[in-house]
Amino acid sequence: MEEPKIIINTKMEKEDYKKFLYTATFKRNKFTIPILVLMAMVAGLFIGYEKGEFSLIRFLFSWLVLLIVSIFIVVFQIRRKNEKRVKADNTAGFDNLYTLKFYNEKLVVENQSLKSRAEISYDKIFSLLESKDLFILYFTKSQASAIMKRDIDDLGEFKEFIIDKFKDKYKKI
């Protein structure tokens, strides 16, 4: 039987999950914040233009208020999603040790607490993102798993291996 090239034992704590949500929301798609700015600007233009006259002060004020409100709403949604996950965590997902075994052609994820095991070939993985604190493996466009960098023994070796496997699916954010 083939031996894994790299083995990582990782666990996600509640604070890590919050970082993961912020990263997935704001950094995964670099257009998130510009879209919020643009939407607030368009709405501000409508508010600033009244009865055939344009008021720069009204536009700037409404744009700023709408931008702050829209960012607040996104952050609120992230926090709500985080709290919902923390409350619904009946399967001991947080602080639970996951073992990721990276072979030449596949990834095996094991969880002893849940007595579960999953295998996936690298070509079936949607994408891999790297941030300052973690790697995010997207199995599909909306289903992901995080690997905390602090849990990786040899980060250089892992990056070399994983980037080679994902080439055009890898993105540093």
Banded model confidence at residue 161, pLDDT cuts 50, 70, 90: very high
**Do residues 158 and 6 touch, judged by C-beta distance below 8 A?**
yes
What per-residue confidence (pLDDT) applies to 92? 44
* CA–CA dist 10, 63 (Å, integer): 43
Q: How far apart are CA 160 and CA 112, in angstroms?
A: 28
Question: What is the domain partition of the chain in residue ranges?
Answer: 6-12+94-172, 17-87
The confidence score (pLDDT) of residue 89 equals 54
Reply yes or no on whether the pLDDT at 10 is more than 80.
yes
* Of residues 106, 127, 109, 126, the one with CA closest to residue 118: 109
156: pLDDT strictly greater than 70: yes
User: 6-12+94-172 adopts what CATH topology?
Assistant: PH-domain like (2.30.29)
- pTM higher than the cut 0.75: no
| Residue located via tokens 């596949």 | 106
57 vs 23, residue with greater confidence: 57
Chain segment 25-40, per-residue pLDDT in tens: 776 667 878 888 999 9
pLDDT surpasses 90 at 67: yes
